[in-house]
A and B are shown apart, each in its own frame.
Chain A
Amino acid sequence: MSGSGDRQKVMTLNLVIWRQAGPDDSGRFETYAAKNITGDHSFLEMLDVVNEDLILQGKEPIEFDHDCREGICGACSLVVNGVPHGGQSRTTVCQLHMRNFRDGDTIFIEPLRARAFPILKDLVVDRGTLDKIIQAGGYISVNAGSAPEANSILIPKESADYALDGAECIGCGACVGACPNGSAMLFAGAKVSHLAALPQGRPEALQRVVAIVDVMGQCGFGNCSNHYECQAACPKGIDVKFIAKLNREYLKAVIHGFAARTVSDLGQPVED
């Protein structure tokens, strides 16, 4: 997917797209031509063009998730040529522009594939398990009304910046789709680290990490075995250092007796 190409030149692309009528269908690849595409089309606008053609031909359009189309809502989730979001650094697929492709290119488009993300239709998957991870502990327990004055607890700039580096995650699930183990460790690590870096998040930090790790296993996510594919695919550039941080927080929880596991269990293979 290299090459810049002339922005205004019109391209025709050969698309190989995963079609699946529903969760119980086995699914298959089908081939479509995308015509009259310019470099200024975003990847999803290119699919809009294909879909309008399909509708005019009396066929069913290709379903895919999308919403904000400016790279922040995390709804879009296509795997393009084997890479979630298409492999341009720090870019969601809605912000990937066709100037990154060349006339005549063949492009494979698939849904995110992971045990924890069942396919609903075509390119649409169910990522509700990511919400389950947040429900397990991705919050600070504070009720509206009980917060102290905002500047009463000072937070070093470095901590706030570090927290935001983790909090920037858009929950798209690319990390899970890119991981050979279908692991959500980057997603979970980013949230655990964001909250653990702030004084407000410390009181619950150890319970939080244990609850989140437990739920990840129950939801069918795999574990981390250091491939770093997640970081490469992440459209927000979330760093794998947050996985290391999650592991350190977990170790602390074990030492302090918050986890069901003990220190001597660590280093043993983990069943997911």
Chain B
Amino acid sequence: MLLDGRAPSGSIEDSWERHLLGLRLIAPAKRGYFRVLVVGTGLAGASAAATLGELGYNVEVFCYQDSPRRAHSVAAQGGINAAKNYTNDGDSVKRLFLDTIRGGDFRSREADVWRLSQISNRIIDLCVAQGVPFARDYGGHLENRSFGGAQVSRTFYARGQTGQQLLLGAYSALSRQIAAGRVKLFPRTEMLDLVLKEGAAKGITVRDLVTGKIRSHTGDAVLICSGGYMNVYNLSTMARGAGVGAIWAAYKKGAYLANPCFTQIHPTCIPPTGDYQSKLTLMSESLRNDGRCWVPLKVGEARPPNLIPEEERDYFLERKYPSFGNLAPRDIASRAAKEQCDAGRGVGPTGMGVYLDFSRAVGRHGKKSIQDRYGNLFEMYERITGEDPLKVPMRIYPAPHYSMGGLWVDYNLMSSIPGLFVLGEANFSVHGANRLGASALMQGLADGYFIIPYTLPNYLAGTRPGDLSPDAAECGDSRKNVEGRVSDLLEVKGNRPVAHFMRKLGSLMWDKAGMMRSADSLKEALREIRTLREDFRSEVRVPGRGDSLNSQIEAAGKTRDFLEFSQLLCLDALHREESCGGHFRIEHQTPEGEPRRDDENFCYSAAWEFTGEGSEPVLHKEPLTFYHVPLEVRDYR
């Protein structure tokens, strides 16, 4: 079945403005009759909840952390893009649009990307007004730096902690609305089910992580802003608590899940060291402004890096992609690094690493200036590895980082379930098959500050407020279902801790459905997941009780969701017989090892519909048409 994203047609330059004029409004005095439930307090959730509060809606906002300020947007380091052209290097809304479409390898919806590029500038204005202390030059103007996949400097930043500063901006706006009584906050609360009435999203069922109580909350619309699913892989850069639960609950209630196989592997993370490890730490892409990636030319090189002469080094990104060099997009840089390691030229104790070298930049700009730019990142690196990057080149390796796939949404950010909206990383929209650096922060805030405040009222205007009460049968059924699922976990009483299953699943996903996939490896993954699911059902041990703080219940629930979700990811990867962006099928590559896209057969978003336990999901295709940018082979050489 063909799916319609309901994007405006015609000229793209004024498509959003034209669309806005057609949206229904709700008068200020009437907004207080509506209640909106927001799940997640990262950039998307916090900005949406705050803005809807400012407009006069009643909002309830939920996060699993003890404070909204800890959502994982906080960990984004490098920056946020905007088409301000402050650097006078030829940037424009159109150029940001083109870079993002190309960066996504032509697998995103044109109109959505245009709107994002357009809105980017207003985000910077708002964040500055909120007191976000972006980097400035000595004249007091905002500074910019470069990021991957662009030949202009359009990235705004606050040292190496831009995500933290933007999130604190959104969190402060949210806090202001909490104080004003417009927003009610439920921290340490996890969404476990979506409640529908007559097919529309009207509530959620949650578990209070302190008391273990299962409650239903009802409203007139539900916004899922719960982030991505990259913890399906072992050792990702995600927060430990980040799961796929909210997305999966919505999927099981009928929301389509699109392009789950579009996963981003970030090229510059601190390499893994051992089995006990709980996560990998990212080193910002911004480091590739001044750092140069290289490996020794000789296989099995034993000399320390500073004793390897220039002519015996391979600066592989500069060699392969001379026009973008070290700032090639993430999918390309990651594969290039892995290729070197697979060929035996990897460095460090495990051979899983390439050097990121700052010595030329230090020679050119001086130690102080490089220290100023990346000081806190260098410090972080040294704490983890015990090595000083100004003396010894950093060692980096790719790691799972961001999911471009997610719940399918139309141009209004509404999923296939009326009243269920999805924002930020949790939706599938604008990044196609590969996200460019510094675009995630931009998208989360665009969705929350400047899109949902317009598109949500259009939906609400056609509903009757307060349609469902928490005492209704729909909520009771949902609570019963959730309670059953929690006690199922406690009752297995097996002999293996939850962590065992998550590690096993994550490792097999990384090996067989990670950076490079083949039909064989994916089928193998599906077989192994099936066995692992059965083992989980009979062998997992969840200690303690359900009626108190018990983080093992959360971990077990997350693992169960990932065990199910991982199958859909593999299925999607198996069906997409092409390579594009972060989805690299080894059967589909050029003789030079570059991905080979198949626009004839796969120029669509794949949206999957749940059809019941044990039955195959149904595929819906949303065809992608490119009117304003010619479909072409991405070329960063």
Give the docked Cα–Cα distance between A79 and B216 (Å): 36
Contacts A73-B70, A95-B380, A140-B172 aside, 13 further interface pairs with beta carbons under 8 A come to A41-B276, A55-B552, A56-B497, A70-B75, A70-B237, A74-B67, A131-B175, A135-B175, A140-B131, A142-B129, A144-B449, A147-B125, A160-B133
Chain B residue numbers with a CB within 8 Å of A67 are: 65, 70, 72, 239-241
Tell me the residues in window 141-155 of chain A with beta carbons closer than 8 Å to chain B beta carbons: 141-151, 153-155
Chain A residue numbers with a CB within 8 Å of B544 are: 60-61
- B534 CB within 8 Å of chain A: no
Asked if A171 and B67 make an inter-chain contact with CB atoms under 8 angstroms apart, the answer reads: yes
Asked if A127 and B67 make an inter-chain contact with CB atoms under 8 angstroms apart, the answer reads: yes
| Minimum Cβ distance to chain B for residue A210 (Å) | 14
Tell me the residues in window 37-84 of chain A with beta carbons closer than 8 Å to chain B beta carbons: 38, 40-42, 44-45, 48-49, 51-52, 54-56, 58-61, 63, 65-75
Asked if A157 and B128 make an inter-chain contact with CB atoms under 8 angstroms apart, the answer reads: no
| Minimum Cβ distance to chain B for residue A92 (Å) | 9
| Minimum Cβ distance to chain B for residue A93 (Å) | 12
Q: Quick one: which of A134, A156, A161, A170 has the most chain B CB within 10 A? A: A134
Asked if A160 and B543 make an inter-chain contact with CB atoms under 8 angstroms apart, the answer reads: no
- A7 CB within 8 Å of chain B: yes
Give the docked Cα–Cα distance between A182 and B29 (Å): 44
Asked if B135 and A160 make an inter-chain contact with CB atoms under 8 angstroms apart, the answer reads: yes
A130 and B67 in contact, given A59-B543, A91-B383 (Cβ under 8 angstroms): yes
Chain B residue numbers with a CB within 8 Å of A90 are: 379
A72 and B164 in contact, given A48-B278, A56-B495, A66-B240 (Cβ under 8 angstroms): yes
| Minimum Cβ distance to chain B for residue A38 (Å) | 7
Proximity string of chain A (86-122) to chain B, C-beta cutoff 8 Å, 1 when within and 0 when not: 0010110001010100000000000000000000110
Asked if A160 and B134 make an inter-chain contact with CB atoms under 8 angstroms apart, the answer reads: yes
- A126 CB within 8 Å of chain B: yes
Give the docked Cα–Cα distance between A61 and B327 (Å): 44
Asked if A167 and B66 make an inter-chain contact with CB atoms under 8 angstroms apart, the answer reads: no
A134 and B175 in contact, given A63-B551, A124-B549, A171-B67 (Cβ under 8 angstroms): yes
- B179 CB within 8 Å of chain A: yes
Tell me the residues in window 446-484 of chain B with beta carbons closer than 8 Å to chain A beta carbons: 449-450, 453
Asked if A135 and B178 make an inter-chain contact with CB atoms under 8 angstroms apart, the answer reads: yes
Q: Which residue of chain A has the shortest Cβ distance to B126 in the bound complex? A: A147
Proximity string of chain B (486-498) to chain A, C-beta cutoff 8 Å, 1 when within and 0 when not: 0000000001010
- A224 CB within 8 Å of chain B: no
Give the docked Cα–Cα distance between A163 and B175 (Å): 19
- A257 CB within 8 Å of chain B: no
Chain A residue numbers with a CB within 8 Å of B485 are: none
| Minimum Cβ distance to chain B for residue A76 (Å) | 10
Q: Which residue of chain A has the shortest Cβ distance to B449 in the bound complex? A: A144
| Minimum Cβ distance to chain A for residue B91 (Å) | 14
Chain A residue numbers with a CB within 8 Å of B136 are: 155-157, 160
Asked if B240 and A139 make an inter-chain contact with CB atoms under 8 angstroms apart, the answer reads: no
- A262 CB within 8 Å of chain B: no
Choice from B66, B273, B549 contacting A127 with Cβ under 8 Å = B66
Q: Which residue of chain A has the shortest Cβ distance to B551 in the bound complex? A: A63
Choice from B69, B159, B499 contacting A171 with Cβ under 8 Å = B69
Chain A residue numbers with a CB within 8 Å of B380 are: 70-71, 95
Summarize A's interface: helix, strand, loop or mixed: loop
- A136 CB within 8 Å of chain B: yes
Instruction: Please report the number of residue pairs spanning A and B whose Cβ atoms sit closer than 8 angstroms.
Output: 219
- B627 CB within 8 Å of chain A: no
Give the docked Cα–Cα distance between A208 and B544 (Å): 44
Q: Which of A194-202, A245-253, A263-271 contacts B (4 or more CB under 8 A)?
A: A194-202
Which bracket fits the contact residues of A? 35 or more
Choice from B54, B74, B495, B499 contacting A143 with Cβ under 8 Å = B54
Asked if B130 and A139 make an inter-chain contact with CB atoms under 8 angstroms apart, the answer reads: yes
Asked if B239 and A68 make an inter-chain contact with CB atoms under 8 angstroms apart, the answer reads: yes
- A138 CB within 8 Å of chain B: yes
| Minimum Cβ distance to chain A for residue B220 (Å) | 21
Chain A residues near B (Cβ < 8 Å): 7, 21-22, 38, 40-42, 44-45, 48-49, 51-52, 54-56, 58-61, 63, 65-75, 88, 90-91, 95, 97, 99, 120-121, 124, 126-128, 130-131, 134-136, 138-151, 153-157, 160-161, 163-164, 167-168, 170-171, 194-195, 198, 200-201
| Minimum Cβ distance to chain B for residue A192 (Å) | 12
Give the docked Cα–Cα distance between A63 and B550 (Å): 8
Q: Which residue of chain A has the shortest Cβ distance to B237 in the bound complex? A: A70
Tell me the residues in window 147-169 of chain B with beta carbons closer than 8 Å to chain A beta carbons: 158-159, 161, 164-165, 168
- B39 CB within 8 Å of chain A: no
A150 and B176 in contact, given A56-B495, A126-B66, A200-B129 (Cβ under 8 angstroms): no
A135 and B179 in contact, given A40-B273, A73-B70, A140-B172 (Cβ under 8 angstroms): yes
Chain A residue numbers with a CB within 8 Å of B548 are: 21-22, 121
Asked if B72 and A7 make an inter-chain contact with CB atoms under 8 angstroms apart, the answer reads: no
Q: List 24 A-B contacts (CB under 8 A).
A: A42-B278, A45-B277, A56-B497, A59-B543, A69-B278, A70-B380, A73-B75, A73-B239, A124-B549, A131-B67, A131-B187, A138-B172, A139-B131, A139-B173, A140-B130, A142-B129, A144-B47, A147-B126, A148-B125, A150-B128, A157-B138, A160-B135, A160-B136, A167-B133
Asked if A164 and B165 make an inter-chain contact with CB atoms under 8 angstroms apart, the answer reads: yes
- B274 CB within 8 Å of chain A: yes
| Minimum Cβ distance to chain A for residue B16 (Å) | 15
Choice from B126, B273, B274, B549 contacting A142 with Cβ under 8 Å = B126
A151 and B142 in contact, given A72-B161, A134-B175, A168-B161 (Cβ under 8 angstroms): yes
A65 and B278 in contact, given A7-B386, A140-B129 (Cβ under 8 angstroms): no
Q: Quick one: which of A130, A149, A153, A201 has the most chain B CB within 10 A? A: A149
| Minimum Cβ distance to chain B for residue A71 (Å) | 7
A73 and B74 in contact, given A67-B65, A128-B67 (Cβ under 8 angstroms): yes
| Minimum Cβ distance to chain B for residue A67 (Å) | 4
Asked if A164 and B383 make an inter-chain contact with CB atoms under 8 angstroms apart, the answer reads: no
Chain B residue numbers with a CB within 8 Å of A167 are: 131, 133, 158, 165, 168
3 nearest A-B pairs in the assembled complex, by CB-CB distance = A154-B140, A139-B172, A147-B129
Choice from B66, B131, B274, B495 contacting A40 with Cβ under 8 Å = B274
Chain A residue numbers with a CB within 8 Å of B127 are: 150
Chain A residue numbers with a CB within 8 Å of B453 are: 144
Asked if A138 and B133 make an inter-chain contact with CB atoms under 8 angstroms apart, the answer reads: no
| Minimum Cβ distance to chain A for residue B6 (Å) | 24
Chain A residue numbers with a CB within 8 Å of B172 are: 134, 138-140
- B141 CB within 8 Å of chain A: yes
Give the docked Cα–Cα distance between A153 and B339 (Å): 48
- B541 CB within 8 Å of chain A: yes
Asked if B128 and A195 make an inter-chain contact with CB atoms under 8 angstroms apart, the answer reads: no
